[in-house]
Amino acid sequence: MNYVQITEDQRRAMLQAIGVERVEELYGNLPKAYRLDAPPQLDGLPSGKSELELVDTLNALAQRNRPAAAPGGACFMGGGAYDHFIPAVVDHMAGQGAFVTAYTPYQAEASQGSLQAFFEFQTQVCQLTGLDVANASLYEGATAVAEAVIMALNTTGRRRVLVASTLHPDYRRVIGTYLSDLPVELVEVQADPESGTLRVETLQAELDHGDAACVVVQSPNVYGQIEDWASLFAATHTQEKTLAIAAFNPIACAMLKRPGDCGADIAAGEGQPLGIPLQYGGPYLGLFAAKQALLRKMPGRLVGQTIDAQGRRGFCLTLQTREQHIRGAKATSNICTNQGLLALRATIYITAMGPHGLRDAARQCYHKAHHAADQIASIKGYSLAYDGPFFHEFVVNCPVPAQKIIDAGRAQGIHPGLDCAKLGVGSANQLLVAVTEKRTAQQITSLVNLLKELA
């Protein structure tokens, strides 16, 4: 879109069309006491700059940033947001003015192009999760999981929610906020401290109390460990009506069994790994899919495919179950935007990568993470906190506080990982390390050497 300012002739033509001579007349009802002088004088603001001066100022400000993936550095941070490779075509396509400036679609004014993009997005999410229907879309992973819980409560009419303690703490807090004013019991089911995963026997004991609306299990979980979704969800379904909710990683779905393949009724997750930069922690993208039977209880909106009066392929908003649409008090949720631009990025990313590219990225994550874990575990004083299977993230027991390692790493341009204590999932001497396909053998060696220096 062209943002060049209008000309003086255009300005006069517009004023003439509405019957006024000067722009100031448009503010005639505003008391003079509240108007700025001309030129405006705002206390505390610096004087104007030329374009050259402004560019220099902005460049100086940009130099103060410390990006996670700075050139020459390495990012091993994870905990829900990951430094994945993003093909150049994602920025190029998503940066088109027609997409960047388009607001979230409502009814008839939604363009066919936007609707088709969302339809493709929904299709891709269904393929990733192995479920029947997906929406377009939700805020980010935490609210997507919370919306899944609300959907289970509305569907089953039950009042107990069972959440694995291995679910990301941010997700657990958002669920707690959603349920804080509702007559609902939120139960945190404790994981096995040795394996860092939820045991079927522990879950079954909670299910035997009855009245559970749903069970929420994340895999890979907050420790990076792979949960036994199939067994856990099989136990869940021994209770009539109880729904199984899988919190998933979309990249892992390209290599591991998908939520739907493991018996999940609902899958919700964070779409940031799908072509979305870390960008200061957001905005991100909530992914949501479910079985066909739950279609009319889903939050947000769903785009469908149809034909017009001439028999041509077309797209429309099939379901609009939020309060800003026609549902009002009967809305399934109060989701107020569909993160359309982020969903578009995910669609472009998945299309560019293709099934083989996604699978290759997932395999590289897996193998590089296990190579790094083996190297770290061989250092005297360090060990892996859990010995079970993991995808691309793992917890390291350290001989020194994790924050000391993080501070030393940053001085060398390395982000070694996250302090588990600050994340709320472990002790001050535990470091959560994530390894994506972007990490090179040299970068992994640099991390290993850093840990050796601090042992």
Q: What is the dihedral of CA 246, 249, 252, 257, to 10 degrees?
A: 10
pLDDT tops 80 at residue 69: no
Tell me which of 68-72, 235-239, 279-283, 413-417 is least confident. Answer: 68-72
Q: Are strands 243-248 and 212-219 parallel, antiparallel or unpaired?
A: parallel
Determine which helix (DSSP H) or strand (DSSP E) holds 160, and give its type and residue range: strand 160-164
Does this chain's domain 89-349 share its CATH topology with 355-454?
A: no
- pLDDT-derived band at 1 (thresholds 50, 70, 90) equals very low
What is the model's pLDDT at position 68? 83
Separation between Cα atoms, residue 288 and residue 118, nearest integer Å:
13
Determine contact, residues 186/192, Cβ cutoff 8 Å: no
Angle ∠(417,275,254) on CA atoms, nearest 5: 80
pLDDT tens column, 41-66: 667 777 888 999 999 999 999 989 88
Kindly give the residue spans of alpha helices, DSSP state H, lying in 378-425. 402-411, 420-423
Which helix (H) or strand (E) segment is 219 a member of? strand 212-219
Cis peptide before 39 (omega within 30 of 0): yes
| Other Cβ atoms closer than 10 A to 112 | 13
Residues 104, 123: Cα–Cα separation, whole Å: 19
What are the pLDDT digits (tens) for 361-416? 999 999 999 999 999 999 999 999 999 999 999 999 999 999 999 999 999 999 99
pTM of the predicted model as reported, rounded to 2 decimal places: 0.89
Q: Mean pLDDT check: name the lowest of 138-142, 331-335, 417-421.
A: 331-335
Domain topology for 89-349: Aspartate Aminotransferase; domain 2 (3.40.640)
pLDDT at 326 > cutoff 60: no
Homologous superfamily of 355-454: Aspartate Aminotransferase, domain 1 (3.90.1150.10)
Domain residue limits, the chain: 89-349, 355-454
